[in-house]
Structure 1
């Protein structure tokens, strides 16, 4: 039985719909509004006869109760002084809507034609407000996901019902604008204004501001798309090319946008992806301009957020992710300098992923069978002597208006502007640079300067496709004064964004003024709190570095990075998170510095930086990339025992082990130990022994693992090194636990925990707590095991260490299974397995692997097939952050196990 009030009040019994007579229906409405609570007879009389109950009302009420019972049976029960409706086990669409927000449950207005008094009116009003909030939430999600046409269709009907609701009106206007219907968006505001005027009101300032933004085509109104960067200004021109590209990509799976540098290939590809985002389940941009070395599939995986898996080629992991995601659009941007590798990657992806579309930008086609090419030249320019408002002139006029604070081209300037656009071949970047100069120079002087530079540079470049853009950039460069030119050249060594301090370290003078002027002249971008060079300009700047200046700039950069990475990553939560984010933002610059050091500079410094980067490569799930750089650096430096080589071998061994390559990890670890022994580095020896004991433990070579562990512990104690004593105690105890020697293991784990707490080493504390929890669980001490594992989870969450979070989640899952919650435990295990696969960080501790498998088998046996399937469905709909938040929230509320998503 199901009660429905989201529309006319009715009862659904199996497939039949029953609508009671008016008074029984009103009675039902009042009881439903009470949500199972008793309603007194006096209240019922007032509700059913709001204008005053007749003398026979009490008897008539009993008759209506009897009539209602004929439909719902004994669900209408007598309560003290009145009646109540028992809703247990029955469906109730209002409650379902409140839980789910599903607008499809509505059939009209709440409690429509129900009768009843104030309680029903209040319930209807409450549900109406919830419905409005759900509509607004749906509209926001539709607009955010690019379904603006569908949003406009649905919102139009809702606004017709509620023409004065300004929240819905605003969303409808935005949906119409993004659907290319700006006129209808403004007409909607007019209708709302008229409706409000009838009530003696006027639209709020937010609606008026939106209308003004629509009239000026404000670029911030453009639809955001997940995976795509926001654009700083309006997209002008290329409409024909964009429409053609959309049509071609609708029937093809690989489209290449080809053309010279500065033609606007990247911008067109992003607009194409933005307009087609709604047709795909995921959209990603893979920037290749900074890729210099190594397989492209590693950069692709990083851009997609796909983590490496041990023993599995990265490309296989990527293709599996793409196929699991559904319809995916990937933009491979700036392929020209890695064209053979880009071609091979595109071929492999399109062959393995039937739901994938690829858009590539390159200065020449990839040359694949089935490739569709859209070739870009310059924007359309007027013929000689004409001043037509072609795309090139429109772009110049728009950018001039922005540069002059709203003052655009004057009529007297149009002839010169048209000539300027022609002389720049209509290339968008050159036009952007020219417009920026109009803040300080008249158009005629810019033309004379440009004319001389074009003549000077024609045919000078050995690369033909660079000639026109080189002329435009060189002209802009010559307009700079000497300090600006000097700084721009040095900034060319920075492969990504940078801050003022980095710019200052590259030169001997204060860079603030010249850097600000470079931003004003569009030679440097300021975005998201960081500076950045446009790639073509950066290439130009780097080429302008003379030999001595180039060496000096890169040497300074290497010194900056050496100092920055000399300190180990902070282990407290916010600082660690900030460190990881900062290294990630500068990753391209860092590896460029490593590459220069290994090929042109001091290889030992390249090895120093690579060794210091291992923690980032591990946390970011880029183990293969880290191993590649460390391998190159080790090969480029003398194979002689040094402390630096020992640290580098230890870093490589850790990355190899964490990615599942235990044999390589053992080999590298033994080389590391031999190196530290040779140089007499006691601390290094202890670290190497700790590294090896973990690897041998993972290989189930327990005698060797214990030998490594006890030696590490002995040396650490002799050196009074508290940090290493704690680490060796904790790690050696892990091997003892694997061997079933729990008494010995527990004592060493406790010693490690005490040591880490004394040092305030939060990562060490979390590891020791997790290990002690496992020991307590094996001894049947479930309550302390759960408390310790939850504390470990909290610390790992604060530090942003996902692998540690998964260790803790698996430990809590096994406790759930043991304490009678197989569904909750299995759900956590399934989620952890999924996240480990994505992270590329498999479990490698033998006894933990065995515990997990035993727990999963027990949960499956307790649940049975259909329940297991339900658990998997629920886990698939749950994210790692949601799960961690639920577990920690449950710990904070002290309510035993946290509630898991329903299976």
Structure 2
């Protein structure tokens, strides 16, 4: 693979299901990580079923939050144009056309870009090199008799079986070799069989597999796809009736699920919710189901479970049409309820938790909307689902994908319903922020018309609000302020206040700024700050801080502006709100220019050089704001000199945002870190660090290198490096020695807390990361 990649820009790995294409490509990608200046990025496509979503998925993986109306293809092409990067496209077979289109966009745009793809069939793209991944070699009888150890298949079986308690004794190698030969050396088939050593002896395994394969092949060796099918059949037959039922039902989920979702969707008709957890444990023991980490380490997303794609496909084949339709409907209803709960709960203290939960369920939400879009009788439910996800499309930066779903669903059902009206104002919001002004105005007006037809004053208020946002995008400031302010006066009378309602007040404040009415802008912002403070809400609050900071800067109260902007940036960084960060960092840079701190401003402009390419449209496209930026940058460049300005900007432009933002937002001096509260008895959460980061910090304290940490924790070296960077940023440290000192202090504080709470007690040891020998847990 490395040889092919050195002379080809696209290498595709093909092979039967379960042969280990993903595992192989990830190993090679990890080894090659340092060879690419802009990194290696894994794009997981196993749960993508719509060809048009392939480029969206790639863009999201690269961190692009496109706010423009140019199309994701164009934004993606522009972003990768000067990148030296390796992109791994995993599981392309079900979206071949989308992958072919994406490869053409990427390879045409970026000479320094390489692609590794895995697929059960070639992509048939010009210049593609195909590598067929073979199964693992299996030993012949003579090899076993002479003790020649040439078989990775034997080693894999023994390794995975040892995790189930099996120990291979002298003389058993021949039986293991027979099993591996019967399984054609297919890694997934070997792992499924090895898991059975918990319940069956080697001789029983050999007898059962041998009988099945003799029936299948009528005395001749079976093709490998039949081998895997037979192994799946055999594993299925050895499951209990309840385990089979849960296996089939869990295959409705895309990208995994949490326990609550599994209990709700999979129970009923012979399976009670209280049995689901025990059955999940049984399926994990049998290597049918795997436990996965929460996305990006978000604890709020909870423990998740997943079927490997081959195992999931088998589970889906077990359902008849009636059962499949029932499961899809229960699945859709669960995620519709989740989206409704998130929309209600977003305006409150749990926004970050909701963001983590919804992000973890991205694939399931896509699957639910796809189901609704494919059935005319379910389109209204799809409209409700897409509309309830307004905060996910806006606050979490999925403007382009949200717009695609909304446009698609709106075109399928034109009945004047409340769900359609909601989708129209959400679509108007997205379109206006993309710069698609005509569509933003048209959809807002259609929302108002439906509100009048339904006599729905709340919906009419949203239509008025979004008509004001469209007027802002059109530069009609007086009309924009009047509409947004009137919308807020109507919104505020509602019994339940939500974030989009309060955003009408924020947007009225922004318009007042652009009109030069700083006093009115501050009044609007401070009313918003009061409301959000009472609710414990953060995201809308961060926007009100940015608006007040802009108003204060325009009035010359620059120090107060800096304080507002720093607080707003701190909040927005927690949400990864790139567009909001771009606006806030812009105004902060202008403020430093006003204070004569041109070197700090230059560093901030360097940070902006990282942010805006990921967003696609700077400063809402507002010419007035763009002019402010041009004047501030020109002043800083003139004060420092062109080369000095460029050098300072380059210092931060080359850093990851999670490193550069904390450095530049606080100013030039790196202040001493605030003391971390000692953990309470039994609390080993690590304060500001995630559990994985605590493990990495302790490895650093033991003097381990990044390479050694990666090997110990069974992660890539690049991932280990990223964890160390995150720790340095979160703790505001500049060296590994400071991390080691912090870990020692944490241990001392913990021990003191335990002794105070229970004299003579011994602190509970921290969780020890599994070693690479803990086979089954790292099968993928």
Q: Is the 8 A contact 1:392 1:428 kept in 2?
A: no
Conservation of the 8 A alpha-carbon contact between 1:403 and 1:438: no
Give 1:715-864 correspondences, 5 Å limit: 715-716=490-491, 727-797=503-573, 800-840=576-616, 842-844=618-620, 845-864=622-641
Question: 1:797 offset after TM fit, Å?
Answer: 4.2
My pick for the range that moved more, 361-370 or 487-496, is 361-370
Structure 1 distance, partners of 2:669, 2:465, is 35
Give the match for residue 868 of structure 1: 645
Structure 1, 371-380 or 526-535: larger mean CA deviation: 371-380
Partner residue, 1:58: none
Cα distance in 1, alignment partners of residues 496 and 281 from structure 2: 50
CA distance in 2 between partners of 1:379 and 1:773 (Å): 62
Q: Indicate if the aligned counterparts of 1:725 and 1:755 stay in contact, CA closer than 8 A.
A: no
What is the CA deviation profile of residues 563-606 of structure 1, one whole-angstrom value per residue up to 9, with x for unaligned ones?
22212455589833332222222211221122122224722222
Q: What's 1:267 paired with?
A: 23
> 3-state SS of the aligned residue for 1:307?
coil
Residues 546-573 of structure 1 deviation map (CA, whole Å, 9 limit, x = unaligned) = 2222122222222221222212455589
Equivalent residue number for residue 131 of structure 1? none
| Correspondent of 1:674 among 442, 449, 456 | 449
- Asked whether 1:559 is paired with 2:324, we answer no
Give the Cα–Cα distance (whole angstroms) in 2 for the partners of residues 592 and 614 of structure 1.
17
**1:574–1:798 contact (8 Å) kept in structure 2:** no
Structure 1 segments unaligned to the other structure (5+ residues): 1-244, 896-903
Q: Which residue of 622, 626, 643 corresponds with 2:398?
A: 622
Match of 1:694 in 2: 469
1:813–1:829 contact (8 Å) kept in structure 2: yes
Give the drift of 1:878.
4.5
Secondary structure in 2 matching 1:364: coil
Give the aligned CA root-mean-square deviation in angstroms. 3.2
What does residue 440 of structure 1 align with?
Answer: 199
2:396 and 2:577 in contact (8 A); partners too: no
| Residue 479 of structure 2: aligned partner | 704
Instruction: Determine if the alignment matches structure 1 residue 517 to structure 2 residue 282.
Output: yes
Any stretches of 5+ residues in structure 2 without a counterpart? 294-302, 673-780
How far apart are 1:397 and its partner, in Å? 4.0
Counterpart CA distance in 1 for 2:497 and 2:88 is 51
Q: Residues 79 and 613 of structure 2 are in contact (CA less than 8 Å); yes or no, is this contact kept in structure 1?
A: no
Cα gap change, 1:253 to 1:653, in 2 (>3 Å): same
* Aligned twin of 1:315: 73
1:303 paired residue number = 61
Distance 1:656 1:527, change over 3 A: same
For 1:324, the equivalent position in structure 2 comes to 82
Match of 2:241 among 477, 482, 489: 482
The count of aligned residue pairs is 646
Are the counterparts in 2 of residues 297 and 314 from structure 1 also a CA contact under 8 Å? yes
> Is 2:408 aligned against 1:632?
yes
Change (3 A) 1:785 1:619: closer
Shift of 1:744: 4.5
Q: Is the 8 A contact 2:568 2:584 kept in 1?
A: yes
For each residue in 1:868-896, what CA deviation from the matched residue of structure 2 results, as whole angstroms up to 9, or x when unmatched? Answer: 3223323324443345424664599999x
**1:642 aligns to what?**
417
Corresponding position: 1:653 with 2:418: no
> Does the 8 Å contact 1:261/1:363 carry over to 2?
yes
SS in structure 2 opposite 1:332?
Answer: strand
Shift of 1:685: 1.8
- Larger relative contact order, structure 1 or 2 (CA cutoff 8 Å, min sep 6): 2
TM-score (norm 1): 0.66
Q: Does 1:249 align with 2:23?
A: no
Q: Taking structure 1 as reference, are residues 700 and 465 closer, same or farther at Cα in structure 2, changes over 3 Å only?
A: farther
Identify the range of structure 1 (859-868 vs 428-437) with the bigger mean alpha-carbon deviation.
859-868
Q: How does 1:36-185 map to 2 (within 5 A)?
A: none
Question: Is the Cα contact below 8 Å between 2:54 and 2:102 reproduced in 1?
Answer: yes
Contact 1:256 1:359 in 2 (8 A): yes
Helix, strand or coil at the partner of 1:426 = coil
Task: Provide closer, same or farther for how the CA distance between residues 710 and 498 of structure 1 changes in structure 2, counting only shifts above 3 A.
Answer: closer
**Would you say the 8 A contact 2:161–2:195 is kept in 1?**
no
Deviations 1:365-400 (A, max 9, x none): 223343322223322223468636442542354235
Distance 2:34 2:493 in 1: 65
Cα separation, 1, equivalents of 2:276 and 2:495: 47
Separation of aligned partners in 1, 2:502 and 2:240: 59
Distance 2:671 2:126 in 1: 62
Q: 1:337 to 1:864 in 2, by over 3 A?
A: same
Task: Give the 5 Å matches for 1:524-563.
Answer: 524-528=289-293, 529-563=303-337
State the shift of 1:697 in Å: 0.8
> Runs of 4+ in structure 1 displaced over 6 angstroms?
720-725, 891-895
Q: From the superposition, tell whether residues 252 and 758 of structure 1 become closer, same or farther in structure 2 (CA, over 3 Å).
A: closer
C-alpha spacing 1:656/1:499, structure 2 compared with 1 (3 Å) = same
Work out the CA distance in 2 between the residues paired with 1:277 and 1:892.
Answer: 33
Question: Secondary structure at the residue paired with 2:619?
Answer: coil
Asked whether the equivalents of residues 346 and 354 of structure 2 are also in contact (C-alpha less than 8 Å), the reply is no
In 2, the alpha carbon distance for the partners of 1:392 and 1:449 equals 23
* Equivalent residues of 1:309, 1:837 under 8 A apart: no
What residue in structure 1 maps to residue 33 of structure 2?
A: 277
- 1:507 maps to 267
1:341-356 correspondence runs (5 A)? 341-356=98-113
Work out which of the residue numbers 208, 220, 236 in structure 2 matches 1:449: 208
Deviations 1:262-304 (A, max 9, x none): 2222222222223333333311222222110124222122222
Distance 1:453 1:756, change over 3 A: same
Secondary structure of 1:843's match? Answer: helix
Report the structure number with the largest CA radius of gyration.
1
Cα deviation for residue 452 of structure 1 reads 4.3
Structure 2 vs 1, CA of residues 728 and 526 (structure 1 numbering), >3 Å: closer, same or farther? closer
3-state SS in 2 of match to 1:382: coil
Cα deviation for residue 795 of structure 1 reads 3.9
